[in-house]
Chains A and B, each alone.
Chain A
Amino acid sequence: MFTLARNELYRLFLSPLAWVILALSQLILAYLFLTHIDYFIQIQPKISAIPGAPGVTELIAMPLLSNTATILLLLAPLITMRLIAEDRRNDSLPLLLSAPLSIHQIVLGKYLGTVSFFIILLLLISLMPLSLALGSDLDFGLLAAGLLGLCLLVASFTAIGLYLSSLTKQPAIAAISTFSCLFLLWIIDWAGSTQMASESSGLFSWLSSLRHFEPLLQGEVNTSDIAYYLIIITAFLALTIRRLDSERLN
C-alpha cells in the first residue's frame, strides 16, 4: 500500500504537470500574499490604536488560506483525473490487479500518494505566512486550524476525484466531472442562504464543503466539521473500492 503511494507520488513528480501546478500556484498565491501585506501596511496605523483589533494572522494568513482553498478547487481535478482513468487508458491496471494486492490496498495506495502531493503543496504555501513570524507575532493556533481545514478539504477533494476517475477511461471527463462536483458542493449552500429557514436549506448548507471550512479558518475546530470531511472521504473511497470490485465481476 505504501509502496503504491510512493510510486504514485514519484510518478506524479516525473510528469511536468506536478511541477507546473506547484510553480504556478506558488506564483499566484505569492502575488495575493503580497497584496494582503500591502493592504495590512496601509491600515496598520489606523487599527494599531484599537485594542483587540485583528492582527497579522487574521488579516494576512487567513485570507491567503482561503484563497488557497479556491485555487485547490481548480487544481485538484487536474491531479486526480489521472489516478485510475489513466491507468485504464494505458492498460496498466492489470499490473495492479494481478499482483497480490487487494482492491482496497490499491485504492488507498493511490489515494495516499495523491494526498501527500497536496500536503507538500500546502507545506510550501504555508511557508509564506510562516515567514511573517520573523517580524511579528503569529497566532499559531489559528494558523494550525486553518491548515488543518485545508488538509481536510483537499483530502475530501481527492477522494471525490479518485472516485470520478475510477468511473471513466478519459482523464478529461474525470477532470470535468470532478470539477463540477466540487464546485457544486462548494456553492450548494447558496440555495440555502436565499430561501432562509426553509427545511431543505439546512441540508444544503450541511452538504456545502465551504460551510464546514469557514469555521476552521476562524479558528473554530468543531468535531462536526471534521466529521463531515471524514464522512465524505470514507464514502468516496468506499465507492471507489466498490466500483473497481464490480468491474471485476461484470
Chain B
Amino acid sequence: MSNTTLLSAKSLSRFYGSQHAVNNVSFEIHKGEVLGFLGPNGAGKSTTMKMLSGNLAPDRGEITINGYDLLSQPKQAKAQIGYLPEQPPLYKELTVKEFLMFCAQINQIPSAKITKAVNTAIERCGLNEVTKRLIGHLSKGYQQRVGIAQAIIHTPAVVILDEPTSGLDPIQIREIRHLIRDIAAEHSVILSTHILPEVQTLCDRVQIINHGKLIFSDTISSLSQQMQASSLILSLDNPPDIDRLQQLSGVTAIEAISSTRFRLHYQPDNNPTQDLLTYAVSEHWQLTELAPEQHSLEDVFMNIIQQESLTDVQAA
C-alpha cells in the first residue's frame, strides 16, 4: 500500500450549544486503509462523520480530502467521498436501478459512463436480483446494500460508513462485512461502529473516541498487543498449597477463583507455563485446565475509557 494521505482532519471541533460534541480531533487516512472509529453511543462518532462528509460544518479545524479543502472547495472535495449515514438515504418510491441512476447523475458522472457505473455498483453490492424492485419493499439488509452502492457509485477516494451494520440480523451483518472488505480493496474506508469484533475483523487502524475526544489511535495489531494479558487460568483437581504455586519462578500473584481453580499473574517476560507442567506431572496435581488469559477487546476498550475518565478526574 502506498502512503498517500487521502483524507486529513486537523483539530476538528464542533459544539452543540455549550456541549462539546467533538473536541479537537485530528487524524489522517492513507490509501487502501480501513479506519475504524470506535466509541460508545453519543461519543461524537456520527458528528465526526457528518463533518467529514460535508453535512455539518465544523466550528473549528479543517478537512482536506485528496488535496481539496472541504470548506473552500466543497464540490471537488465532495466528489471524492461517498457517505452512508446511519439511516441510509433512499428514495423508497424508486426502484433500485432508478435510484442508482439518479445518484450517478447527481454525483456528476459523465452521462456516457453512467450505465457502466450503475452496473458496476449493482454487481459489487450483489443487487443483481433486485434491480427492478422498489427500494421501499426491500429488506433492511438490501436497503443497506443499496446505501453502500450509492456511496461507491462514483468510485470516491474515501468511503465513509456510519454504523453500517446496525439493525441487521447476523447473516446480513456477515454479508455487509464481506462487502466492506471488498470495497476496502479499492477505496479507503472510514467506518464507525460501537461493535468491537467488527473493528477486529475489518479494520487496519482503530481510533477510539469518547466524550468528543480522540483517546486512542493505533494499528489493530498494537491494540491486540494490549490485549495480551500476563495471566493464566489453571484448574487442578488435587491442588497444592497456594504458597507452593507462589514459589514458581516468575509468578507474581495468585487468585483463587474456587478451591480448584486459580488465576496466575506472572511477569510478562517470564512465563511459568513450562515449570507448571513439569511440577503438575511430578507432584500429581491433576491438571485439568491451563489457558492463557486474553483480554477481550471489550476489556481493553473499557480500560482505555476508564483510564481517560480517571485522568480527567485527576486533572480536575
Contact = CB atoms under 8 A, between A and B. Distances in A.
Given A3-B106, A98-B78, A101-B106, A92 B55 contact: no
Given A94-B85, A248-B56, A14 B93 contact: yes
Contacts of B92: 90
A15 interface: yes
Interface in A209-250: 248-249
B215 interface: no
A interface majority secondary structure: helix
A98 B74 CA distance: 9
A92 B89 CA distance: 4
Interface residues of A, number: 21
A248 B105 CA distance: 23
A7 B94 CA distance: 10
Contacts of A92: 89-91
Contacts of B94: 11, 14
Given A3-B102, A94-B83, A98-B78, A11 B107 contact: no
A91 B106 contact: no
A93 B88 CA distance: 10
Given A100-B76, A249-B57, A95 B89 contact: yes
Contacts of A95: 89-90, 103, 106, 150
Nearest to A86: B91
B108 interface: yes
Given A100-B76, A102-B74, A3 B54 contact: no
Contacts of B57: 248-249
B81 interface: yes
Interface string B83-116: 1010111111110000000110111100000000
B133 interface: no
Nearest to A99: B106
B106 A96 contact: yes
A4 interface: yes
B276 to A, nearest CB: 57
Which applies to chain B's interface (DSSP): helix, strand, loop or mixed? loop
A91 B87 CA distance: 6
A97 interface: yes
Contact-residue bracket for chain B:
20 to 34
Nearest to B147: A95
B53 A98 contact: yes
Interface string A103-114: 000000000000
B297 interface: no
A11 B91 CA distance: 9
Report which residue of A7, A98, A249 has the largest number of chain B beta carbons within 10 angstroms of its beta carbon.
Answer: A98
A4 B102 CA distance: 8
B93 A11 contact: yes
Contacts of B81: 98
B251 interface: no
Interface in B50-75: 50, 53-57, 74-75
A250 to B, nearest CB: 9
Contact of A91 (B53, B56, B85): B85
Interface string A82-93: 000000001111
Interface string A150-190: 00000000000000000000000000000000000000000
28 contacts: A3-B102, A4-B106, A7-B102, A7-B105, A11-B94, A14-B93, A14-B94, A15-B93, A90-B89, A91-B85, A94-B50, A94-B55, A95-B106, A95-B150, A97-B55, A98-B54, A98-B78, A99-B78, A99-B106, A99-B107, A100-B74, A100-B76, A100-B78, A100-B107, A100-B108, A248-B56, A248-B57, A249-B57
Closest 9 pairs (CB-CB, A-B): A95-B89, A91-B87, A98-B83, A92-B89, A100-B79, A3-B105, A100-B78, A98-B53, A99-B106
